[in-house]
């Protein structure tokens, strides 16, 4: 949507809000007459390939949403949007609510929330299995033996979730490409079990924060399945890219060329090892913060881990095989109508346009990577798979720290650092709105700062 | 703001967004030049008494917010808004960041998040005190002995927080007014300590969900202080009302008439027993969901409980005595610019107008209460202090269940039920936008349904 159209549509929305408020007394009921499940039949089975018009979406607001007001429309639209999105990302069918297999999606606020909830579900499931121990009976003998796994590249939210939930967490060393591998997991499990511990959860990252590395879930998945370990996939950043068939194989943790690995393996194995999956639609899919879609294979596991039912929240449509009651799926009780974000984004862009945008962003990252590679003073320090290029001047950490300061000083561009195997590294990331011109400008700016820095007497 | 003005201002905001986006390349820097602490001197020390104009607030957007972009403006505005709000509620000075005493405020998403964070802080503080045990070393001997307290009327989020954090929680029976009292706490502590448990946390509720009851923090506070128990105050609903001097004494857990209790006791004792306090500004203060301001007396306690610092988040202004880094204060890493909600609401209404709105809402609730009391078929089942009236037909739970169904059936009004000492009860609550006419209409509607119900052959 260009600025001109945003201006028109934004003002239409203001009028819509005013009209809605003014018609409340006259035309709206305080509680809808629809029956649970009313919404799904009113919508197509999948997100549109081509962009739809704003008028069409708004006319569906009256047709689809308004009869269900906020409840049950908010819940039912969320269920359907998560199925749309799950199909667009080619998630295994077990994750889709419409499949009837006991799985489903929910919009968490952030990937941290999803990590917390998945670990909680895993903890509950494991403790229950180990003797019907209630999660709240902490004097039980099992809780203190639980151990969760993450890679040394995983997001800090995994460690934080473990702190909150009072379980051990063990960081596994990643390989030279910053990928968590099966051999390290096997080693840790063996050692921990020998010490009487109980492995119960693994957070695999697809697209790590530091370097956009991919854990090898083709190796990790079967081990988790064998050991009864809950595998959560945190694809906070990279998840959006799986909407492109070109990047879908990344989701298997290894770069696969067509024909190299059996298609059946890709479709039916690696993915299906995951018990839960999450990504941030607010990162690279055009939804505003916050909007973090999460899927679970067994909704019972997530619901049972946090189900408390006070009398003031009793109603006739409690969470069941038929009814979804999202308050049991999350930390907070209150919820927003976040599925509207996905509804607008998926329909106003359409799948094809979203694929184009992501492909174009990745192409720009590759272009930046080329700039770096052609300059002998620099090195690329990650394997560029999506929109993140990690790079550094050949030389000391101190030198690169000075480069970062010089680049950020004037506020023309801003890049953030990280450490990769204690190598201080600069991170260049393509976001929505970047252009080839802005990427070229950024590289030339960085390059000129490097020239100035390297020719200064103090270096 | 009436619909006409909303229409004008809303469209101005759309233009503002477009102008901002279009000026990005030309006029805006990607990183601000301001120094930490720049914002506070640009604003008054307290929220305005009288309403300010939209133009004034918007011109301050350019003067105050834009030079600090989103960072550090979002953080610094939040600090100042929480001080404004804390003063408006007459919170003890120790809670205010500007007091320099180590306390401060943060906007959580919901009261559930605040409960979770306060319990986590308490757990960390207690475990640390008991022998420098790290929260993540769950094989330690202390965690399994911790016990949290809540009343049988407290919100389900307390129980959920305890589940997540793997600590015991004990529900104390409330008195005949649904208030948690000191005597029950004393009894529980004594018993638990005899059993080798370690009391560490109490969640006191001001304005319970079921019946808007107030726990007696004048009694509970000194006990918590003596025992080293963290007292969190959950005033999710009632908190907004404390902006009115008329309701401020409720905050002490007992209705106090001037002169009845020493003023010094009110000002300096009961409140100061609390370690943390939270209310939902999105419930009764005009902020949109979600916006749940929380204050802590010791920011170190909350920050230390969840501090994990990965290399990609290192920056020169880390959380310290001078710098606030809110990611350590909450579950998620990402944050919204929620303080803008408070900034607009507090300035566009002004304190006086907010007080008037709340007083008017409470007056309407009292009027509804009178309607109920004058009708001999009914009884009022709670002590009406703010906007919630609990009531029921004299008779069986079954009868009242039928009444609720009849009232809600046509979608003209909607009321929710609860159980008070296993008495099925209807809850009538005044919200923003109610009028005396709508309240009278609601009562007459309920009354007519009762008449129909009581005269039907089946009853």
The CATH number given to whatever domain includes residue A380 is 3.90.1150.10
Give the pairing of strands B230-234 and B276-278. parallel
A57 within some domain: no
**pLDDT score of B64:** 94
**Sign, CA torsion A340/A343/A347/A352:** positive
| A458, two tokens | 């103090």
Query: Å from B255 to nearest chain A CA?
Result: 25
Query: ipTM score here?
Result: 0.93
pLDDT tens-digit profile, chain B (459 residues): 889 999 999 999 999 999 998 888 776 677 788 888 999 999 999 999 999 999 999 999 999 998 888 889 999 999 999 999 999 998 888 899 988 888 999 999 999 999 999 999 999 999 988 875 454 445 457 888 999 999 999 999 999 999 999 999 999 999 999 999 999 999 999 999 999 999 999 999 999 999 999 999 989 999 999 999 999 999 999 999 999 988 888 776 443 333 444 444 445 444 578 999 999 999 999 999 999 999 999 999 999 888 777 766 666 666 666 688 898 889 888 899 999 999 999 999 999 999 999 999 999 999 999 999 999 999 999 999 999 999 999 999 999 999 999 999 988 899 999 999 999 999 999 988 889 999 999 999 999 999 999 998 765
Strands A423-429 and A416-420: antiparallel
- A231 with A331, same domain: the answer is yes
Question: What is the model's pLDDT at position B270?
Answer: 47
Sign of the C-alpha dihedral, residues A394, A397, A403, A408? positive
- How far off is chain B from A348, nearest CA to CA, in Å? 19
Does any CB of chain B come closer than 8 Å to the CB of residue A338?
A: no
Specify the 3-state DSSP secondary structure of A21.
Answer: helix
Contact A169 B136 (CB under 8 A): yes
Report the number of distinct structural domains present in chain B: 3
Pick from B24, B136, B316 the residue to mutate for testing the A interface (most A CBs within 10 Å).
B136
Residues of A in contact with B22 (CB under 8 A): 3
pLDDT mean across residues, chain A? 89
Average pLDDT over residues A180-205: 97
Taking residue A357's Cβ as centre, other Cβ atoms within 10 Å add up to 18
Burial class (CB in 10 A: 0-12, 13-18, 19+), B68: buried
pLDDT band for position A268 (cuts 50, 70, 90): very low
Give yes or no for a contact between B397 and B424, defined as CB atoms under 8 angstroms apart: yes
A419/B contact by beta carbon, under 8 A: yes
User: Which residues in chain A have Cβ-Cβ distances shorter than 8 Å to B30?
Assistant: 411-414
Q: Which of A30, A309, A311 sits opposite B414 (nearest CB)?
A: A30
Report the gap between the CA of B164 and the closest CA in chain A (Å): 6
**CB atoms A336 and B289 under 8 Å:** yes
Query: What pLDDT is stored for residue B312 in this prediction?
Result: 67
Q: Given an 8 Å threshold on Cβ–Cβ distance, is A312 in contact with B417? A: yes
Q: Is B293 exposed, middle or buried (0-12, 13-18, 19+ CB in 10 A)?
A: buried
**Cβ neighbours of A333 in B, within 8 Å:** 110, 112, 155-157
pLDDT at A174 exceeding the cut of 90: yes
CB proximity list for B103: less than 8 A, separation 6 or greater: B94, B95, B96, B97, B295, B296, B297, B298, B299
Please name the residue of chain B whose CA is at the shortest distance from the CA of residue A208: B312
Contact A138 B333 (CB under 8 A): no
Please enumerate in sequence order all residues whose Cβ is within 8 A of that of A370, keeping only pairs 6 or more positions apart, or say none.
Answer: none
- In this prediction, residue A85 has a pLDDT band, given cuts at 50, 70 and 90, of very high
CB proximity B128 to A under 8 Å: no
DSSP string across A298-330: -HHHHHHTT----GGG--SS-SSSS---GGGGS
pLDDT tens for each residue of A113-127: 999 999 999 999 999
Same domain, B359 and B334: no
A340-399: per-residue pLDDT in tens? 999 999 999 999 999 999 999 999 999 999 999 999 999 999 999 999 999 999 999 999
> With the C-alpha atoms ordered A27, A32, A34, A37, is the resulting torsion angle positive or negative?
positive
* pLDDT at residue number A282: 94
Domain with A324 in it: 77-348
Which of A31, A110, A308 has its CB closest to that of B411? A31
Q: How far apart are CA B57 and CA A327, in angstroms?
A: 36
**Looking at the complex, does the CB of residue A115 fall below 8 Å from at least one CB of chain B?**
no
Please determine, for residue A258, whether its predicted confidence score (pLDDT) is greater than 50.
Answer: no
The angle that helices A397-409 and A436-455 make with each other, rounded to 10 degrees, is 120
Work out whether strand A230-234 and strand B198-205 pair parallel, antiparallel, or are unpaired. Answer: unpaired
Nearest by CB to residue B14, choosing from A11, A163, A412, is A11
Q: Per the structure block, which two tokens stand in for A285?
A: 């899919």
Q: Are residues A317 and A374 both part of a single domain? A: no
* A315 contacts: CB under 8 Å, gap ≥ 6: none
Residue at A49 is within a domain = no
Instruction: Tell me the chain B residues in contact with residue A120 when contact means C-beta distances shorter than 8 Å.
Output: 164
Residues in A 44-103 with any Cβ partner in B closer than 8 A: none
Non-local CB neighbours of B49 within 8 Å, separated by 6+ positions = B350, B351, B352
Within a domain: A102: yes
Q: Is the per-residue pLDDT at A111 higher than 80? A: yes
Give how far the C-alpha of residue A105 lies from the chain's centroid of Cα atoms, to the nearest Å: 12
B172 and B207 inside one domain: yes
User: Based on the domain organization, do B258 and B231 belong to the same domain?
Assistant: yes
Task: Please enumerate in sequence order all residues whose Cβ is within 8 A of that of B138, keeping only pairs 6 or more positions apart, or say none.
Answer: A143, A144, A146, A166, A167, A168, B166
CB contact under 8 A, A414 and B17: no
Which CATH number goes with the domain that contains A112? 3.40.640.10
Structural domain includes residue B67: no
Query: Residue A351 in contact with residue A48, Cβ under 8 Å?
Result: yes
A281 and A137 share one domain? yes
| Percent over 90 (pLDDT), chain A | 70
A 13-32 → B contacts, CB under 8 A: 14-15, 17-18, 21-22, 29-32
Is the residue at A42 inside a domain? no
3-state secondary structure of B280: coil
Domain boundary residue, one of A332, A348, A364: A348
Rounded distance, CA B121 to CA B276, Å?
A: 10
Chain B residue with minimal CA distance to A159? B308
- C-alpha angle with apex B287: B281 to B292, nearest 5 degrees? 35
Alpha carbons B20 and B27: distance in angstroms, whole number? 9
Task: Mark which of B348, B380, B415 sits at the end of a domain.
Answer: B348
| Residues A234 and A374 both lie in one domain | no
* Residue A264: band (very low, low, confident or very high) from pLDDT cuts 50, 70, 90: very low
Residue A134 has pLDDT above 80, yes or no: no
A339, A360: one domain: no
* pLDDT tens track for A403-454: 999 999 988 899 999 999 999 999 999 988 889 999 999 999 999 999 999 9
The C-alpha of B137 sits at a distance from chain A's nearest C-alpha, in angstroms, of 7
Q: At what angle do helices A182-194 and A217-227 cross, to 10 degrees?
A: 30
Residues of B in contact with A168 (CB under 8 A): 136-139
- Does one domain contain both B340 and B360? no
**Minimum-distance CB partner of B157 among A7, A18, A333:** A333
Selecting from B11, B331, B419 the residue whose C-beta is nearest the C-beta of A14 gives B11
Search chain B and give the residue with CA nearest A163.
Answer: B136
Residues of B in contact with A416 (CB under 8 A): 312
Across the interface, whether the CB atoms of A336 and B290 are under 8 A apart is answered yes
Q: Check if B165 contacts A (Cβ < 8 Å).
A: yes
Q: Dihedral angle at the C-alpha atoms of B428, B430, B434, B439, nearest 10 degrees? A: 40
Residue B68 in domain: no
Nearest by CB to residue A30, choosing from B21, B112, B411, is: B411
Q: Inter-chain contact A156–B21, Cβ cutoff 8 Å?
A: no
How many residue pairs from chains A and B have C-beta atoms closer than 8 A?
A: 205
Q: Which residues from chain A sit within 8 angstroms of residue B308, using beta carbons?
A: 156, 159-160, 163
What is residue A262's predicted lDDT score, i.e. its pLDDT?
46
- At residue B322, the pLDDT reads 67
The per-residue pLDDT for B323 is: 80
- State whether B120 and B224 are in the same domain: yes
Domain contains A319:
yes
List the 269-298 stretch of B: residues with Cβ below 8 A of A: 282, 289-290
Q: Is the pLDDT of residue A66 over 70?
A: yes
Of A293, A324, A348, which marks where a domain is finished? A348
- A373 min Cα distance to partner chain B (Å): 23
- Residue A258 or A430, more confident: A430
Residue B2 lies in a domain: yes
Same domain, B221 and B360: no
Q: Search chain A and give the residue with CA nearest B120.
A: A164
Residues A302 and A382 in one domain: no
Contact yes or no for B332 and A165 at CB 8 A:
no
């Amino acid at each position: 949507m260009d600025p001109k159209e945003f201006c028109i549509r934004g003002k239409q929305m203001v009028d819509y809000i005013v009209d809605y408020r003014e018609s409340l007394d006259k035309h709206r009921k305080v509680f809808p007459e629809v029956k649970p499940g009313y919404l799904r039949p009113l919508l197509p089975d999948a997100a549109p390939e081509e962009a739809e018009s704003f008028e069409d979406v708004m006319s569906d607001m009256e047709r689809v949403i308004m009869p269900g007001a906020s409840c049950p429309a908010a819940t039912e639209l969320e269920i359907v949007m998560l199925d749309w999105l799950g199909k667009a990302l080619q998630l295994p069918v077990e994750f889709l609510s419409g499949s009837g297999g006991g799985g489903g999606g929910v919009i968490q606020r952030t990937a941290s929330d999803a990590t917390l909830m998945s670990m909680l579900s895993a903890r509950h499931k494991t403790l229950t299995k180990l003797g019907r121990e209630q999660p709240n009976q902490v004097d039980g003998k099992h809780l203190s033996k639980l151990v969760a796994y993450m890679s040394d590249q995983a997001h800090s939210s995994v460690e934080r979730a473990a702190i909150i939930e009072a379980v051990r967490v063990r960081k596994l060393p990643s390989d030279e490409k910053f990928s968590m591998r099966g051999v390290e997991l096997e080693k840790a499990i063996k050692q921990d079990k020998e010490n009487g511990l109980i492995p119960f959860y693994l957070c695999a990252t697809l697209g790590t924060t530091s370097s956009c590395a991919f854990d090898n879930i083709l190796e990790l998945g079967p081990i988790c399945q064998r050991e009864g370990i809950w595998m959560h996939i945190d694809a906070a950043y990279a998840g959006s890219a799986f909407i492109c068939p070109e990047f879908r194989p990344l989701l298997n943790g290894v770069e696969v060329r067509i024909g190299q690995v059996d298609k059946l393996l890709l479709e039916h194995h690696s993915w299906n090892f995951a018990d839960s999956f999450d990504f941030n639609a607010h990162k690279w899919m055009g939804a505003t913060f916050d909007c973090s879609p999460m899927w679970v294979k067994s909704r019972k596991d997530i619901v049972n881990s946090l189900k408390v039912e006070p009398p003031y929240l009793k109603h006739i449509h409690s969470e069941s095989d038929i009814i979804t009651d999202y308050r049991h799926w999350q930390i907070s009780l209150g919820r927003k109508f976040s599925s509207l974000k996905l509804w607008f984004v998926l329909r106003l862009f359409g799948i094809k346009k979203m694929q184009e945008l992501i492909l174009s962003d990745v192409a720009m990252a590759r272009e930046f990577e080329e700039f770096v590679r052609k300059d002998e003073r620099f090195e690329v320090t990650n394997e560029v798979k999506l929109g993140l290029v990690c790079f550094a001047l050949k030389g000391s950490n101190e030198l690169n720290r000075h480069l970062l300061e010089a680049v950020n000083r004037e506020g023309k561009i801003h890049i953030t650092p990280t450490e990769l195997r204690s190598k201080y590294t600069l991170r260049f990331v393509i976001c929505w709105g970047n252009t080839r011109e802005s990427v070229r400008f950024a590289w030339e700016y960085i390059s000129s700062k490097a020239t100035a820095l390297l020719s200064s007497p103090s270096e």
